[in-house]
Structure 1
Amino acid sequence: MVNQNQLSVNNNAYYPSKQALSHLVRQLQSPKIKRAIKPGFIARTDGFSVDEIVGRLETLPEQAGLLSQLLSTSDLTEKTYSRFADNPNSLYNWHPAVEAAIDVSTTELKSPKTKVMRLPIELAQFIRIEYQDTAQHDKDLFNRFIFDQFGLEDDTTYFIKTGTFSSKFQFTNAKCSEPREMGEYFQVINNFAMQVGAGHSIDLVVREYIEDVENNPTIYNGMPLRTEFRVFVDCDKNELIGVVPYWHPIVMKRALQSGLSRSIQQDYQTYRNMEQKLVDTYNEYLHRVKKEIIAILPNLNLSGQYSIDVMKNGSDLYVIDLALMNDSALTELL
């Protein structure tokens, strides 16, 4: 586990001090939280022997989905915390390598301004407790903690996520224009991530919000439908494996066409109206995206095969996400 007084070598990543953590935890008042969280101590609230069950499921490849769901929803243990800390898909672990590669390479790729916090186990457990079980007093404390620790500014819009989950499909949570309530945004995002089997992170991420300069229509509760690329690379061989559209027509129409809610039906129509423009823009910028990714690969200090997501905004190209290739969607379209 990371020492609570140790700062990351990445200037934009940090770990709260023991003093800041203890001061916050001592003030928590929600009955369920006071039973579960004390400085330096996590009580079990779900009653499961998580480490033992995880150990058994790891020997059963056919139970990978159940294992993922268990890890997402269970209380933290020291072993689970360490597992999440070592997750190569967490932005905390890969972002320094991407920023360094962009800085030293001859490339036009950009990276959004980013701050990432690795939560101590007590606060990582706090955002795993259901939002409705948290008293407003405790929400207010966490809001102030997040605002101060991240050095947020009023009247500023941010893009926020956990280390591994962006909540893009509930974009009203990912786009935060109320920085003094950001702690509650993080609670809601992580609760939802846990519900869908993606609660595998102990990191919180605050990024600059890249305003859409193209005036694209929106889907998923406010997300601009911009052209995005998913690039698959082999970092050991410095090779580009292939590129696919992030908003691939086959995938998007299959996902949206069967939606029953009115909002999803509207998203489907919006996508159909934008489909040809997205395809044309993808083809127009494909060569440039390949060229820019190839330019940073020799300087990208990562090992293995990854997906790298690139977002177009006007004439700018932003690297916005990265994950292990075998954990990434859309590989079947290569």
Structure 2
Amino acid sequence: MSTNNQPARINDSAYYPSKEALSQFISKFQSPVTRRAIRPGFIARTDGFDVDETVDMLEKHPGQEALLSRLLSVSDLSEKTYKRFAENPNSLYNWLPAVIKAIRKSGSSLKIPNTKTLRLPIELAQFIRLEYADTSDHDKELFNKFIFDQFKLEDDKTYFIKTGNFSSKFQFANAKCSEPREMGEYFQVINNFAMAVGAAHSVDLVVREYIEDVESNPTIYNGMPLRTEFRVFVDFDKGNIIGTVPYWHPIVMKRALKHGLTDSIQQDYQTYLQHEDKLMQEYNEYLNQVQKEIRNILSHIELAGQYSIDVMKNGTDLYVIDLALMSESALTELL
């Protein structure tokens, strides 16, 4: 675990297998859907669209951002789409090194969970876009082993996992992985869900240490500890804080949960109501400290534009857990 003034390490190099190694790996795939969609050096179109042409058309028409996001999420990868996802500023792979460097330079007490990242080659990035149910047990096991080996995972250890820009925290049983030798399947399920909600815009995978809850908070969303979190909106160009809001804001949470149709969502709603006072009390208690720590790193961070920064409280520790472009972040309406 990272300690004060000693942020977590992140691996500096992406995984790019040689063409020969990749060819050997892919040749072992057996299920028809996999062999049809992925061959060495070739991605077959399974959706029938020329995604690059359609993307170019949508980008020329303002107001089509939601449709464009959905299209990119569900389409097979092309080289152009792969490059677009690799350059996604919301991907943890792209922003985390700058945040770690800024924390070190500033001497901030902010922490970051120990983190490993992996940028998949296009063929394997395409594999996690295939429907989980359509891929064979053999191919899943092959990908499981690849993930276990590449991330150098340990048996009997719990991890928090996500794609570069999507954590699936609202289905927390998928984000918290206590079965490292099946992690490849977890990633496929997470990315399949990201595709369904228009958020599959990454070719990066992330494995972090799981931060155990030291406060015995209740859980919602299938096992997620309901910890106090802050969303800080910042302008890196001007070096200032635009505003801060509670991540679990009462208005948003009650609106999202109150009319949930399932028993589990209704239980989450009751859990939130019982925990709301503690969340808001801790938010107000730690707000000045969070803003002070964020200000400390602003002059040292090598990022441009307006972003949201998510900070999670665990005991007295404050963890930076996510960044995203402000223009693509929720909760801006609360500023």
Q: TM-score, normalised by structure 2?
A: 0.96
On the 8 A contact 1:13/1:115 being kept in 2, the answer is no
Partners of 2:244 and 2:224 lie apart in 1 by 22
Deviation string, structure 1 residues 143-170 (Cα, Å, up to 9, x no partner) = 0000000000000000000000000000
Counterpart for residue 232 of structure 2: 231
On the 8 A contact 1:228/1:312 being kept in 2, the answer is yes
What is the aligned-residue identity percentage?
73
Counterpart for residue 73 of structure 2: 72
Partners of 2:263 and 2:22 lie apart in 1 by 43
Q: Give 1:49 deviation, angstroms.
A: 1.0
Query: Root-mean-square deviation (CA), in Å?
Result: 1.1
Q: 1:193 aligns to what SS in structure 2? A: helix
Q: 1:14 aligns to what SS in structure 2? A: coil
Q: Give 1:320 deviation, angstroms.
A: 0.1
Counterpart for residue 4 of structure 1: none
Paired residue type of 1:176: C
Counterpart for residue 140 of structure 2: 139
Q: Give 1:13 deviation, angstroms.
A: 4.4
Q: Give 1:12 deviation, angstroms.
A: 4.5
1:23-34 matches, within 5 Å, as 23-34=24-35
> Structure 1 residues 115 and 186, CA, compared in 2 at 3 Å: closer, same or farther?
same
On the 8 A contact 1:163/1:205 being kept in 2, the answer is yes
Partners of 2:81 and 2:49 lie apart in 1 by 13
Counterpart for residue 248 of structure 2: 247
Partners of 2:224 and 2:330 lie apart in 1 by 19
Counterpart for residue 3 of structure 2: none
Q: Give 1:114 deviation, angstroms.
A: 0.4
Q: Give 1:34 deviation, angstroms.
A: 0.5
Partners of 2:124 and 2:144 lie apart in 1 by 12
How many pairs align?
326
Q: Does residue 1:302 correspond to 2:303, yes or no?
A: yes
Counterpart for residue 259 of structure 1: 260
Paired residue type of 1:247: W
Counterpart for residue 288 of structure 1: 289
4+ residue runs over 4 A deviation: none
Counterpart for residue 14 of structure 1: 14
1:86-235 matches, within 5 Å, as 86-235=87-236
Q: 1:260 aligns to what SS in structure 2? A: coil
Partners of 1:13 and 1:218 lie apart in 2 by 35
Counterpart for residue 7 of structure 1: none
Q: Give 1:314 deviation, angstroms.
A: 0.2
Q: 1:140 aligns to what SS in structure 2? A: helix
Q: TM-score, normalised by structure 1?
A: 0.96
**Structure 1 portions without partners, runs of 5+:** 1-9
**Structure 2 portions without partners, runs of 5+:** 1-9
Partners of 2:205 and 2:107 lie apart in 1 by 30
